Amino acid sequence: MSHPILSRRLLLAGMGMAGMSVAPARAQSTPRRGGTLTAIVQPEPPTLVSALNAGAPTGVVSTNIFDGLFSYDWDMGLKPALATRWEVATDGLAITFHLRPNVRWHDGQAFTAEDVKFSLEEVWRKIHPRGRATFANVEAVETPDPLTVVLRLKQPSPVILGALNAYESQILPKHLYAGSDALANPLNLKPIGTGPFRFKEWVRGEHIILERNPDYWDEGKPYLDRIVFRVVPDATARAALLETGQAQYAPYSPVPLTDVARLRALPGIAIETRGYEWISPWLFLEFNLRKPELGDVRVRRAIAHAINRDVIAKTVWHGFGKAAVSTIPSTVTRFHNANVPQYPFDVRKAEALLDEAGHKRGADGMRFAISHDFLPYGDDYRRTGEYVRQALRRVGIDLTLRSQDTPSYLRRVFGEYEFDMSSSWASSFSDPQIGVQRFYWSKTINKGTPWTNASGYASPAMDQVIEAAQRSADPAERTRLFNEMQRLAAEDLPCLPLIELNFFTVHSKKLHDVAMGPDAVYASLKHAWLEG
C-alpha cells in the first residue's frame, strides 16, 4: 500500500509548488474519435528521444511516442502512467514503484522493470542533462519482479518524484538500446515507445507523422488517428496556417508576438497559456569562461550593467516576459531569492568596470570583439541578440551575431565549446535540482550534452552548496541552500538571467483538451480531439 500523505508532502516540499494557483482544466462535451491533427513543431528536432536530447522540439513530439512512470495533475500530484502506484519508505531511503501490467512496446515486446532500471542507470544518470543531479542519491536499482522497481537512496530525495513524466524521465526499451551507443542508436530517428502514438514517417525539413497506437494501455485513447507535425521555419507562414485552419495546434509561442492580439480576436482561434507551469522558463546569456576577456568577472558584470532587461521584456518580447531578478524565476515561489546581487542598467558603471579590467577603447572606439551564438528557435531570439549587440556596442564591445541551424548551435556551444557568449532559454522546473543547478555544478560539465554547464564554471563553494542541497530532505534547509546558490550565481555570473518567459500555445477552437495539466506542453495529445 502506498503512503499518500508522506509521498505528497515529500513531493510538494521538493517541488515548491504548494502555493501555486492554476486554472482547472476546461470541461468539454463528449470527445469525438478519429481525425488527423496537423500540428507545427519549430525548429525541427534533431532527434525524437527526449531522454537523450532535452530540447523543446524533441519534447513536443517524443512525449506522444513514449510514456513516463507518472504524469501530473494541476496540484502537482502524481497521476498513474507506466506506474500505477508508489511507496516511500518511512525513513525516505527507498521508493518503490509498482508498474502497470500488460504494457507492450510498439514492437510487441513486453515492458518490464528492467526497462526502468536500464533507463535510470544507463541513460538518465549518464546522458540526460539533468538526470545525474536528479538521481544523484540513487545508490541501487532493484527489480525483485518484472513489475516492481525499488530505488535505494543514500539520502532522502524528494526531487525524484517531481521528475517522472514522459519528458523528464523518458523510459527507453532495454532490448533495443542495451549494448549500443545510445546517442548514435538509429532508433533515435524512428523511435519505439509505449506511448499513445507510433512513429510512422519523418521527411526531413517537411514533417513527422505519428499514428494511433491501437494497443495502447489507456483503453480508448488516443482519440486522434494521426498527428502530422509540420516543420515551418517562417513565423508568418505559421500564423497563416493557423489562421486558415490548415494547422490546428502549435505550442511554444509559434507566431510573431505582434500577431497575437489579431489572432486572439479571430472566432476560430484560441490562445492557451496553461500547460507551461511545470517548466518555469527563463531566458539567459551564458559566458564561456575559457575565453580571456569573459573569464574576468568584471567584464561579465559590465555586460550585465550594459543590458536593460526591461527593454528586452517589454519591447523585444512585447510583454511576454518580465525582467529576471535571479537565476531561479519568481514563479518557483518556494526557492526564488530576490535578495541577490543586482546589476541595474547603468552604462557608466559598465564603462568603468571595463576600464578597470584593462580594456581601453581603441581608435575605432571598440575595446575587444566577441561573438554571440543565439538560440535558432525564431525571430524573438534573433531580436534579443540584435538588442544585445547594440547595447554592448554602446560600451565598446564589438559583438558579432552568429546564426545557424539547431544541430550546429548545439555542436558549437555544447559539443565543442567554440563560442564566446550564447543565449538560450531553459526550464527551471519546480525544483532547482532538476532545472537550474545544471548550469552551475562543475560535475555537469559534460562535453556534448546540451543545456548543461557550457560556461566551464567550476566553484568549490558552489559545488558544496549544490551537493548539500542534493543530500538534504529538509524543506527549510533546501530553501536556504538554494538561496545561497542564487547568491553565488549572481556574484560569479557565469550566466546572466535576462527575462522570465511567458509561452503560449495557439490552437483551433475545434481542437479540445490540449492543456490537461501543468506539464501539458510536454505531455501526449492522447486526450485531444477534433470536432467534426
The answer to whether 4-26+49-188 and 281-501 have equal CATH topology is no
Q: How far is CA 362 from the centre of its chain?
A: 41
Mean pLDDT of the chain: 93
C-alpha cell at 64: 506522444
Cβ contact 495:439 at 8 Å: yes
User: Do residues 185 and 177 touch, judged by C-beta distance below 8 A?
Assistant: yes
d(CA 409, CA 405): 6
Which has the closest alpha carbon to 299: 387, 383, 420?
420
> Angle 297-306/379-394 helices, nearest 10 degrees?
110
Highest mean pLDDT (candidates 13-22, 172-181, 271-280): 172-181
Pinpoint the alpha helices (H) of 222-276: 235-244, 260-264
Could you tell me which residues come within 8 angstroms of residue 314 by beta carbon, excluding any fewer than 6 positions away?
none
All three cell numbers of 147: 513489475
Residue 430 and residue 382 in contact, taking contact as beta carbons nearer than 8 Å: no
Which regions of 395-440 does DSSP assign to beta strands (E)?
Answer: 397-402, 421-427
Task: Quote the DSSP letter at residue 40.
Answer: E
User: How far apart are alpha carbons 43 and 79 in whole angstroms?
Assistant: 30
CB 103 within 8 A of CB 110: yes
Domain boundaries, the chain: 4-26+49-188, 281-501
Whether residue 22 has pLDDT greater than 60: no
- The rounded distance, in Å, linking the Cα atoms of 462 and 294 is 19
Say if residue 13's pLDDT is above 80.
Answer: no
**Nine cell digits for residue 322:** 518580465
- For residues 410-441, one letter each, b for 16 or more C-beta atoms within 10 angstroms of the residue's C-beta and e for the rest, the string is bbbbbbeeebbbbbbbbbbbbbbbbbbbbbbb
CA 121/CA 124 separation, integer angstroms: 7
3-state secondary structure 463-492: HHHHHHHHHCCCHHHHHHHHHHHHHHHHHH
At 285-303, the pLDDT tens digits run 999 999 999 999 999 999 9
pLDDT over threshold 60, residue 470: yes
Cis preceding linkage at 222, omega within 30 = yes
Residue 299 CA to residue 395 CA, distance in Å, equals 11
pLDDT value at residue 29: 76
Fold classification of 281-501 (topology level): Dipeptide-binding Protein; domain 3 (3.10.105)
Alpha helices in 119-211 (DSSP H): 131-134, 174-177
Q: Rounded to an integer, what is the distance from CA 404 to the centroid of its chain?
A: 21
Residue 496 backbone phi and psi in degrees, to 5: -110, 110
Peptide bond into 43 cis (omega under 30): yes
List beta partners, residue 322. 500
Task: Choose among 334, 430, 328: nearest CA to 74.
Answer: 430
Distance of alpha carbon 248 from alpha carbon 268, whole angstroms: 10
Residue 197 has pLDDT above 70, yes or no: yes
Taking only the tens place, the pLDDT of each residue in 210-230 is 999 999 999 999 999 999 999
Confidence of residue 259 (pLDDT cuts 50, 70, 90): very high
The architecture (CATH level 2) of 4-26+49-188 comes to Alpha-Beta Complex (3.90)
pLDDT at 14 over 80: no
Tell me how far CA of residue 461 lies from CA of 336, 340, 471, 495, in angstroms.
20, 16, 16, 17
User: Looking at residues 422-439, what average pLDDT do you find?
Assistant: 93
pLDDT digits (tens, 9 = 90+) for 477-531: 999 999 999 999 999 999 999 999 999 999 999 999 999 999 999 999 999 999 9
- The mean per-residue pLDDT over the stretch 322-342 comes to 95
How far lies 463's CA from each of 31, 450, 459, 495, in Å? 50, 20, 6, 16
Alpha helices in 246-358 (DSSP H): 260-264, 297-306, 309-311, 347-356
332 vs 76: CA distance, rounded Å: 13
C-alpha span between 518 and 163 (Å, rounded)? 13
Q: In percent, how much of the chain has pLDDT > 90?
A: 86
**First vs last Cα of the chain: how many Å apart?**
44
Confidence band (pLDDT; 50, 70, 90) for 473?
confident
> Is residue 133's pLDDT more than 90?
no
Does residue 12 surpass a pLDDT of 70?
no
Residue 472's pLDDT is what? 86
Which tens digit of pLDDT belongs to each residue from 87-97?
999 999 999 99
